[in-house]
Structure 1
Amino acid sequence: MLDAHRLASASEYPLGIVKGTPILLSDKGELDEWLVLYFTSCPKFTSLDLLSRRTYALEIAMWCGFLGRQADPLMWLEATEDDFIDYKIRRTDHHQFADTVAGSTWNKAVFALRDLYDWAVSRKIPIGPNGPSIESNPVPGGRGATRVPGGRANEVLVRQERDRWIVPGTYRLWRDVGLRGRGIERVGPNQWRTAGEDKSCRVRNSLRNTVFTDFVYSTGLRVQEAGSLLLAELPTEGVIEAKLPAAIAKYSKARMWYSAPTVSRTLSTYVKVGRAAAVRRAIREGRYDAIDDIIWVTEVRRARKGTFEVVQDDGVVMSLNTMKSATRRRLFWLRDGRPEPMALWLNEGGTPYHHESWIGVFDAANDRLWAAVEATGGAATDELTVTPHSLRFSFALALTVRLHQRLDAMHGWNEDVAYGDGTRYDEVFRTVKDVLGHKSVETTRNTYLPRVQRLRFDRLFGSLNAGTTIRDMVSSFAQELSEIRDLTGDGA
């Protein structure tokens, strides 16, 4: 009986299981073979990024713990829809329980459990050693409007777990208040702006954190992709593109990524100021001397097709294109006669910053902005939930609109031409697909076409002049689509 909810530690991993794969253990150290199979072989689960896999696994563990603590303990395969409804009440009814969760957190549990049971039903997994196969999913299908006896599967009056599209002005508000600790003032209904320093707010690593979020917002890279880069892999001065190694790219497929000159200058400031200070601090405190598994690199050289390889001090050559994030954090070299990590992003102590740790930075910034908004009379609907995916999607939407506009100008299309089914913009979606690293162009088209198509053609392009910026375009979107967030009113 899996009656606890904890992930296995590194020392508890079963043989043959790849480190980092979520594995759940009971208080007695027991494994559930079907959950192990799900975590290691279900394509829908294994295709998630590491942080999402961990989040889903913890939600499944909470569910197993709930079932195991019943007066008549149940295995997860024995659960019914009534059990799910009881669980929903236990986790979301704040009138009865003090330790309930927000609707967005509850929705993550719904998604995690629904996917698990869909997989179990498709595999016809038996209920017990000699029992019949599971035949139905105890988690009701559908979204917020789906009613189940005694409750709903999803909370209906909450946004999704993240805000997917954020206008530039609102991003800067989030960044300056949440990451820099600036003050805030309300300037109208559902509108705020920064207002000087908030002396009561103490933030750490503000330069590094703001440079990272600016970087993601301007390149569309995923958090693992951006967070695993090495200094040597950044574009050289005057170059706007670089190769993203396959080992840190989703689907293990290398691709090009693009960096505007302004982004390169911002990165350079971080490297020369914030990062350099962290390295000096580490050397002064002897932090690098205490690391046992350092891989010392004596040379970095360009390999085939734009990727790099490194030469260790013992002469061994390693390809960066196939090097995973964990190994990358072990790479060190000498720069200006001083030892330092090759990793781009460092913590305060000067050691490599794990890419999964960025989620905590985003969560803290969300909490800080919400506290400021709430203190000025903001309503629950004004809460902003920014994630690395939010910044990535916002970049992609702006890129999609800009490419639409350019293609429009090339062919002389104007507001008198109906938008149509979007097939004439296939070139746009193929380009965005390549930049984002989507698996197929259909994914890109299905994500962004509805948002573009739902707006009037002249709203998108006809009223825009040559000086219209991406900021203007995405801000105009926010006036039409509630899913695109704008807390500043004009996007500026």
Structure 2
Amino acid sequence: MNEWRLVWAGAGGTPAPHTTGVLANWRDLAERERELGIRAGQPILIDPRGRSDPRLSKIFRHRDFARKAQGTKETYAPDYRLFFTFLWQRGLGWDQAAADDLEDWEDWRLRGEGNPHPIGGVKWARELAALMLLYKIAVKLKYVSASPVVTRTVNTTDGAIEVAELAPKDVRSSNVKWLSPRGFRMWRDVGLGGLLPGGLEDARWPGRNDGRDVAFADFTYSSGLRRREVGTLLLPELPALESRRYYSGWMGKAVAKRAGRFYYVNHLALQQAELYRISTRDSAIRRARNRGLYDRIEGRLLLREITPSRNVYWSDVNGRTYTAHIDNLTVEHRMRMFVISESGLEPAMLWLTESGIPMAYRSWTKVFERASQRCARLGLKVYATPKMLRHSMALRVLVSLHHALDGRLGLTPTERKNYEETYGTVWTMVKDLLGHRSEITTREIYLEPVRGLQIESLLNDTDNPNNTDLFAELSRRTGLILDVA
């Protein structure tokens, strides 16, 4: 092999007693990792000779990298693997990269002749940010004398910032697509629900997981949560289903992008999740129990309680008890957690595979791809990704909030501008719903009570229009919103 490899530490814990081969003598693997300070979910990069550089391990344990969201780490690590492979094929180690090497890498990634998968400016900006972070830490730790990422200082209204010389100039949102509410319903019903474009049932549709998939799409489109955030929800985290239009829930920090926050989901989406729980999900659990699948899962954790203050209590298979705030429950914790219901043991995770085990959140990308391919085969020009549903929610709420403010307060555009300057713009509310970081300060703590009152009040406004004609006009004019007639 002539490539670097990427593995993740701490995911599997101590090898099982029946393990054979190389791992048979490594039953204390988890303990060794802890002694070395290696954290669960930490990336480990292995060079083509099969060696792991301990300096890279220290970089990944450094606070500047460790405090990044797990999703960011999972995105950055493959970028390192690719760049290190490029350097290796030039006869260089990761610590020998120079500015010229990075320039050549940038040229290959964006414009390289023969490159089967050239990338755009948005992806290059992300890869550059990953490399800036790694080599910045390496310079701090004196592993390299200088970073290959050359930067310049730029003065902004928020102060001086360092900008990479190779930063792309074509980072724009023109490739981002949105779905109108009407376009989303068509994609969901045909792609995930198995209907024909005319609304009739398709006799050839297998229909095994449509209840789950439709519920996931509705929850994502309603809440605007990220794929990882929706995909790792625990049953006890769902708001109780009542007679309300919108419900608020808490998204834990360990699975959110940056910080724990409230999210909002409408009644129909929450109801779909409940219908999935008592139907498709319940059937998958019964099949798994009949096969004794849950009894064979190693490292199983038993979730005992989530208190109103969001403290979580659980125990392991040996009866040892643990507690932590829900903000600290990682994806790995959630995948291994079970609850005891009236019928017996079942996963605590909401979304399950057909075999009854917790579904990896990354698997939703393939589910969406298959749904979009089905729509294309049936002649529909609508498609979706989890991120598109998140963006579409933001657009829908943005339009609705503007109308709600104008209609409820009887404001003219000029009067609305004065109102927004006093109480915060609707753009700010949508940004906060999405969990984006402020350019000035994060506001997650300081504006949460006020923001919650504003959002709940406006989203529960029964006079909000559907804006169907407006979305159709925006779709026609911009070409960025996927709509259906």
Q: 1:4 to 1:426 in 2, by over 3 A?
A: same
Instruction: Name which of 10, 24, 28 aligns with 2:49.
Output: 28
User: Contact 1:46–1:53 at 8 Å: present in 2 too?
Assistant: no
Letter matched to residue 113 of structure 1: E
| Equivalent residues in 2 for 1:61-100, closer than 5 Å | 61-70=81-90, 72-73=91-92, 75=94, 77-81=96-100, 84-85=103-104, 88-89=107-108, 97=114, 100=116
Q: Deviations over 1:347-406 (max 9, x none)?
A: 11111122233233334444554x538xx5x9xxx785x432322222122222222222
- Give the Cα separation in 2 of the matches to 1:277 and 1:226: 21
Q: Look up the match of 2:282.
A: 276
Q: Look up the match of 1:172.
A: 185
Q: Look up the match of 2:401.
A: 403
Q: Look up the match of 2:465.
A: 468
- Give the Cα separation in 1 of the matches to 2:372 and 2:69: 23
Q: CA RMSD in A?
A: 4.3
Q: Cα distance, 1:101 vs. partner? A: 1.4
How many pairs does the alignment contain?
428
Gaps of 5+ in 2: 11-28, 152-163, 444-461
Q: Look up the match of 1:18.
A: 39
Q: Look up the match of 2:451.
A: none
User: Contact 2:195–2:201 at 8 Å: present in 1 too?
Assistant: yes
Q: Deviations over 1:132-171 (max 9, x none)?
A: 6647269722323xxxxxxxxx8x9x964xx353222222
| Equivalent residues in 2 for 1:77-226, closer than 5 Å | 77-81=96-100, 84-85=103-104, 88-89=107-108, 97=114, 100-101=116-117, 103=119, 108=123, 110-119=124-133, 125=139, 134=148, 136=150, 140-144=166-170, 160=175, 163=176, 165-181=178-194, 197=202, 199=204, 205-226=209-230
**Pairing 1:5–2:4 present:** yes
| Equivalent residues in 2 for 1:40-59, closer than 5 Å | 40-41=61-62, 43=64, 47-50=68-71, 52-59=72-79
User: Contact 1:303–1:309 at 8 Å: present in 2 too?
Assistant: no
Q: Look up the match of 1:460.
A: none
Q: 1:475 to 1:20 in 2, by over 3 A?
A: farther
Q: Deviations over 1:232-278 (max 9, x none)?
A: 22222316434415344536744333332211221121011110110
Q: Look up the match of 2:301.
A: 295
Q: Look up the match of 1:187.
A: none
Q: Cα distance, 1:172 vs. partner? A: 2.8
User: Contact 2:68–2:258 at 8 Å: present in 1 too?
Assistant: no
SS at match of 1:329: helix
Q: Look up the match of 1:387.
A: 385
Instruction: Name which of 387, 410, 434 aligns with 1:412.
Output: 410
Letter matched to residue 101 of structure 1: H
SS at match of 1:259: strand
SS at match of 1:24: strand
User: Contact 2:252–2:259 at 8 Å: present in 1 too?
Assistant: yes
Letter matched to residue 62 of structure 1: L
Q: Cα distance, 1:19 vs. partner? A: 2.0
Q: Look up the match of 1:458.
A: none
Q: Look up the match of 1:150.
A: none
SS at match of 1:332: strand
User: Contact 1:207–1:270 at 8 Å: present in 2 too?
Assistant: yes
- Give the Cα separation in 1 of the matches to 2:110 and 2:199: 36
- Give the Cα separation in 1 of the matches to 2:292 and 2:477: 55
Letter matched to residue 45 of structure 2: L
Q: 1:178 to 1:320 in 2, by over 3 A?
A: farther
Q: Cα distance, 1:221 vs. partner? A: 2.0
Q: 1:396 to 1:129 in 2, by over 3 A?
A: closer
Letter matched to residue 54 of structure 1: E
Letter matched to residue 389 of structure 2: L
Q: Look up the match of 1:437.
A: 435
Q: How high is the TM-score relative to the length of structure 2?
A: 0.72
Q: Look up the match of 1:359.
A: 365
- Give the Cα separation in 2 of the matches to 1:383 and 1:128: 51
- Give the Cα separation in 1 of the matches to 2:469 and 2:179: 12
Q: 1:481 to 1:53 in 2, by over 3 A?
A: farther
Q: Cα distance, 1:6 vs. partner? A: 1.7
Q: Deviations over 1:313-351 (max 9, x none)?
A: 958463562433322332323323322112211111111
Q: 1:83 to 1:404 in 2, by over 3 A?
A: closer
Letter matched to residue 118 of structure 1: M
User: Contact 1:334–1:340 at 8 Å: present in 2 too?
Assistant: yes
Q: How high is the TM-score relative to the length of structure 1?
A: 0.71
Q: 1:334 to 1:86 in 2, by over 3 A?
A: closer
SS at match of 2:404: helix
SS at match of 1:17: coil
Letter matched to residue 410 of structure 2: G
User: Contact 1:7–1:23 at 8 Å: present in 2 too?
Assistant: yes
How many percent identity over aligned positions? 26
| Worse-superposed segment, 221-230 or 28-37 | 28-37
Instruction: Name which of 245, 263, 266 aligns with 1:260.
Output: 266
SS at match of 1:142: coil
Q: 1:126 to 1:351 in 2, by over 3 A?
A: closer
Letter matched to residue 166 of structure 2: P
Q: Look up the match of 2:447.
A: none
Q: 1:399 to 1:422 in 2, by over 3 A?
A: same
SS at match of 1:358: helix
Q: 1:302 to 1:139 in 2, by over 3 A?
A: same
SS at match of 1:340: strand
**Pairing 1:318–2:323 present:** yes
- Give the Cα separation in 2 of the matches to 1:107 and 1:244: 30
Gaps of 5+ in 1: 145-153, 185-192, 446-464
